[in-house]
Structure 1
Amino acid sequence: MKLRVIAAATAACLVATPAAAAEAIDGAKLSLLWALPFAGILLSIATGPVLYPHVWEHHYGKFAAFWAALVVVPLFVMFGAGAAVPTLAHTALLEYIPFILLLLALFTTAGGIYLEGNLHDSIFTNTVLLGVGMVLASIVGTTGASMILIRPLLRCNDDRRYNVHVVIFFIFLVSNIGGSLTPLGDPPLFIGFLKGVDFFWTTQHLFIETLTVGGLVLGIFMLLDIALHRREGKSPKADPTPDSPLYLHGKINFVLIAIIIGAILLSASWKPGIVFHIAGTDLELQNLLRDITFILVTVASVLLTSRSHRKANGFSWGPIQEVALLFAGIFVCIVPVMAMLQAGTQGAFAPLVKLVTQADGSANNLAYFWLTGGLSSFLDNAPTYLVFFELAGGDPKTLMTSGAATLAAISTGAVFMGANSYIGNAPNFMVYAIARSAGVAMPSFFGYMLWSCGILLPVFLLAGWLFFG
């Protein structure tokens, strides 16, 4: 355990942001070899839980450290400590720590909310639960909403012969699409917030897209659920969890989530002008107080929530520890990639730059939507979002105004298409594991993709044509 803590702390200090790295690294002089560690860590994350789960479970931190070392060592050798240290300190203080602390606070508070009881299965009940989950996902995050609602949904449908589709649509809607309206919803959007995107920008600019895509997928679910209910007839299985009144435990955590939101909004609007200079990095007072608030909320949630309620939710610290280590490695490995992207047509990624650029020099928003979404289907959607955010210029003020359609394409692609596979977004595999342990005959990796290709791809084709074509 001590080794893991030391590894996490060390990795946090090694994280680097594209903005800082660009000041020290000339991307035009870097070859594609510098991108291999980034590709390596993403492929490890994508294949580890599926192809070699036992090795991955015990050694994911070592995988992250290995790939990060392949960037950190050359970074110090080629650019020196004078450039490398400020670059790494910049992100440790301004990017990585806020990102992880927010995830920790949301993970802890959502894990303390337990919905006891069981509803009677019906098409209406299932549809309402999925709709509520979509809304909740933008408030407590896709992981938090998934943790709160997956077990009540499973109990509701455990007397049915056909219940696989309920879990699959839950992954589509609650674990992914529903988290697109605030930076709290999905990690890519919080990264955008840290880069300067306004907190409510996604709410204002992605609402129609989310309503359209979410509404269509929810409508397809209703039609399918009606058909399967009729196919089951009037002879369901014996109900292992009889209907019982619902009771919500851990309500104090909703207050704590409100405090999290307040701290984020305050950090974006209150500018006292007090700055602390640490290792070449300017740490502003409002951001420091925001991060401290995340820590205090986490501690308060642990102290104020019953252990029995967390146990009923299947809560453990393992997932957030894994996220902390892996994201540290990801952001280290992405440094040279960002530098090459910022070099534009002068860098090694010139073909990719041309692919998302129209003949007149304007952005090809449809290409941004599908490229971001395609990579988010199989790689972690947070670094994918960051890659294309930087590829689009990386200036939040421009992207929020004249480039709003481009930012919307990147944001929706990253969030929506994380649903295309079990490994597209962190909650997907978690929901899969919980459902399997509850006796649901979940499809294999490729079986799930048959569902996503048959249901989601037509919806995404329509959305791309309507909003970005």
Structure 2
Amino acid sequence: MARDARAALALAASGFCCTNAHAFAQASAPVNAQAGAHVGAHIAAHVGVLDGAALSALWALPFAGMLLSIAFVPLLATAFWHRHFGKIAAAWSLAFLAPFALAHGSSAAFALFAHALIGEYLPFIVLLGALYTIAGGICVYGDLRGSPRVNTAMLALGAVLASAMGTTGAAMLLIRPLLRANEGRRHNVHVVVFFIFLVANAGGLLTPLGDPPLFLGFLNGVSFFWTTKHLALPMLFVCGVLLLVFYALDAWCWRRADAARAPAAASVEWNLALGGKANFVLLAALVALVLMSGVWRPGTGFAIAGVPVQWQNLLRDAGLVALAVVSLTCTSKRARADNGFEWAPIVEVAKLFAGIFVTIAPVIAMLRAGEAGAFAPLVALVNAAPDGRANAATYFWATGLLSSFLDNAPTYLVFFNLAGGEAATLMTHGARTLAAISAGAVWMGALTYIGNAPNFMVKAIAQSRGVRMPGFFGYLGWSGAVLMPVFLAATWLFFT
């Protein structure tokens, strides 16, 4: 009975677009037989609302509209977008929920909205908000200037920290010092773009702390250091190549225009100082809370508006809010002011991802339906090759390309299950396939601004500091030109 409930929980988590540790813990937490059966049956009933096999591909149109709005409206009507992007996200959410209510009933639409809001979005934004607030209280002081050598060192440091404190934590810790170091340079867009590539994405590949998809794998039975053992060499290759390309590009820009404009940058002072050091303790506590929610599993909970909430997840989220409040209270106002801390970037992420969380639900459900769903050709493409073995290269690209437009956590879960869903088997006989799924979900989140939440946050912070970041398609041009050749080489070296 408990096993059936656990299966129902896992199905619910994937079918309803699980994108955070709250849903991940639900997907793998053991429960007692009586309570588990009740909760599992309750969730399974709502899963029927989003039966992916019965959904038409037309239900994906609001999500497509959301993506196109993010891509085109800032280019065509910049001022309008900055004033009304929250209303645009709400409009696309209603464009999905209203027809869904007419087709399936208002109670089904409310159940879907409640799950997206309470079960998915709130824990997601609480975690991001806590990381943004705590990391935003750490200020690096000193005469740090953005020469090619310093910039490359900071990107390398961020890539290392990403696996220890998460891509969001590392990105929020280092993006402001990096921007300040490069304020006097004429060419600084490429610095932020490569920062997104390396710190906000590629560097988070080595541990479950690095990126949500790997934490999902940890909760579903993948050992903590499995990714470290099997993906260290691929990560060194990808990050090493990206750092070399960045250094060559940054050195060319430096010689061409920036060295003469900022001659003092040639001799870098490394006697740096930190403000808000207590926030490092808060970051460590944040990591501990996230790990606790995946390890401590009492198997009990309660429901809010029909959405089951487990105690470990409620304790984690309450703890994250408390840590953010402590950071705001204890960090000096000077440190935040010197850091240029403001709320606009996290507000933009909160509003846009609210729309994404709602409109993405039917897309994930159709993928979860497998060959019975509207995306059956894609599912068939990654199934076993003619020789009976899974095609790791296909899994890498299918997981990765979908992760660049959908949230990478539910995409990981979909292909994890398509590959068999048994961690013990995948870690041994299917090690190459599991490595391909993991690498695709983490790395290719860098292909678009919406592939991973830190991407949008970094973009918003850079724009608030006057950096003229490329638009949606401009960024795609960068990622296509730089990342695609690196990923093709990685495919040949590690996944064929």
Is 1:312 the counterpart of 2:312? The answer is no
Q: Which residue of 2 aligns with 1:389?
A: 413
Amino acid in structure 2 at the alignment position of 1:412? A
Per the TM alignment, residue 182 of structure 1 is displaced from its structure 2 partner at its CA by 4.5
User: How far apart, in 2, do the equivalents of 1:323 and 1:97 lie?
Assistant: 13
User: How far apart, in 2, do the equivalents of 1:159 and 1:31 lie?
Assistant: 52
Change (3 A) 1:336 1:157: closer
Per the TM alignment, residue 462 of structure 1 is displaced from its structure 2 partner at its CA by 1.0
**Which ranges of structure 1 fall in alignment gaps of 5 or more residues?**
1-14
User: How far apart, in 2, do the equivalents of 1:232 and 1:44 lie?
Assistant: 35
Amino acid in structure 2 at the alignment position of 1:296? A
Superposed counterparts of 1:331-346, under 5 Å: 331-346=357-372
Q: Which residue of 1 aligns with 2:487?
A: 460
User: How far apart, in 2, do the equivalents of 1:419 and 1:242 lie?
Assistant: 33
Q: Which moved more, 1:230-239 or 1:456-465?
A: 230-239
Q: Which residue of 2 aligns with 1:328?
A: 354
- Over aligned residue pairs, what C-alpha RMSD do you find? 3.8
Is 1:251 the counterpart of 2:277? The answer is yes
Amino acid in structure 2 at the alignment position of 1:134? A
Is 1:68 the counterpart of 2:103? The answer is no
Change (3 A) 1:262 1:303: same
Select 1:35's aligned residue among 34, 49, 60: 60
User: How far apart, in 1, do the equivalents of 2:399 and 2:82 lie?
Assistant: 28
Superposed counterparts of 1:23-172, under 5 Å: 23-80=48-105, 83-119=108-144, 123-157=148-182, 165-172=190-197
Change (3 A) 1:358 1:134: same
Amino acid in structure 2 at the alignment position of 1:37? P
Is 1:207 the counterpart of 2:232? The answer is yes
SS in 2 for 1:314: coil
User: How far apart, in 1, do the equivalents of 2:472 and 2:112 lie?
Assistant: 39
Amino acid in structure 2 at the alignment position of 1:172? F
Q: Which moved more, 1:366-375 or 1:344-353?
A: 366-375
SS in 2 for 1:393: helix
Change (3 A) 1:144 1:118: farther
Change (3 A) 1:164 1:467: same
User: How far apart, in 2, do the equivalents of 1:287 and 1:207 lie?
Assistant: 30
Per the TM alignment, residue 404 of structure 1 is displaced from its structure 2 partner at its CA by 5.3
Per the TM alignment, residue 406 of structure 1 is displaced from its structure 2 partner at its CA by 4.2
Q: Tell me the alpha carbon deviations over residues 202-235 of structure 1, each in whole angstroms, 9 at most, x when there is no partner.
A: 5555433322211221133344555666678985
User: How far apart, in 2, do the equivalents of 1:326 and 1:440 lie?
Assistant: 21
User: How far apart, in 2, do the equivalents of 1:196 and 1:69 lie?
Assistant: 37
Change (3 A) 1:443 1:55: closer
Superposed counterparts of 1:394-409, under 5 Å: 398=422, 401-402=425-426, 405-409=432-436
SS in 1 for 2:87: helix
Q: Which residue of 2 aligns with 1:417?
A: 444
**Number of residue pairs matched by the alignment:** 452
Q: TM-score, normalised by structure 2?
A: 0.77
Q: Which residue of 1 aligns with 2:5?
A: none
SS in 1 for 2:308: strand
Q: Tell me the alpha carbon deviations over residues 303-330 of structure 1, each in whole angstroms, 9 at most, x when there is no partner.
A: 1112232233232222222322322322
User: How far apart, in 2, do the equivalents of 1:106 and 1:197 lie?
Assistant: 25
Per the TM alignment, residue 105 of structure 1 is displaced from its structure 2 partner at its CA by 0.8
Task: Indicate the percent of aligned positions where both proteins have the same amino acid.
Answer: 54
Q: Which moved more, 1:128-137 or 1:84-93?
A: 84-93
Change (3 A) 1:277 1:447: closer
SS in 2 for 1:276: strand
* CA contact 1:159–1:240 (8 Å) conserved in 2: no
Change (3 A) 1:338 1:300: same
User: How far apart, in 1, do the equivalents of 2:324 and 2:452 lie?
Assistant: 23
* CA contact 2:138–2:276 (8 Å) conserved in 1: yes
Select 2:325's aligned residue among 287, 291, 299: 299
User: How far apart, in 2, do the equivalents of 1:75 and 1:432 lie?
Assistant: 33
* CA contact 1:41–1:330 (8 Å) conserved in 2: yes
Per the TM alignment, residue 254 of structure 1 is displaced from its structure 2 partner at its CA by 1.0
Select 2:374's aligned residue among 340, 348, 351: 348
Q: Which moved more, 1:65-74 or 1:401-410?
A: 401-410
* CA contact 2:396–2:439 (8 Å) conserved in 1: yes
User: How far apart, in 2, do the equivalents of 1:233 and 1:33 lie?
Assistant: 50
Per the TM alignment, residue 177 of structure 1 is displaced from its structure 2 partner at its CA by 1.7
Change (3 A) 1:50 1:208: farther
* CA contact 2:155–2:195 (8 Å) conserved in 1: yes
Q: Tell me the alpha carbon deviations over residues 237-272 of structure 1, each in whole angstroms, 9 at most, x when there is no partner.
A: 444999663111111111111111111111222223
Amino acid in structure 2 at the alignment position of 1:65? A
SS in 2 for 1:283: strand
User: How far apart, in 1, do the equivalents of 2:197 and 2:305 lie?
Assistant: 43
Amino acid in structure 1 at the alignment position of 2:444? M
* CA contact 1:134–1:178 (8 Å) conserved in 2: yes
* CA contact 1:157–1:163 (8 Å) conserved in 2: yes
* CA contact 1:140–1:184 (8 Å) conserved in 2: yes
SS in 2 for 1:341: helix
Change (3 A) 1:352 1:394: closer
**Which ranges of structure 2 fall in alignment gaps of 5 or more residues?**
1-14, 19-26, 28-42
* CA contact 1:389–1:410 (8 Å) conserved in 2: no
* CA contact 2:167–2:211 (8 Å) conserved in 1: yes
Change (3 A) 1:271 1:318: same
* CA contact 2:349–2:457 (8 Å) conserved in 1: no
Per the TM alignment, residue 173 of structure 1 is displaced from its structure 2 partner at its CA by 1.6
Q: Which moved more, 1:153-162 or 1:352-361?
A: 153-162
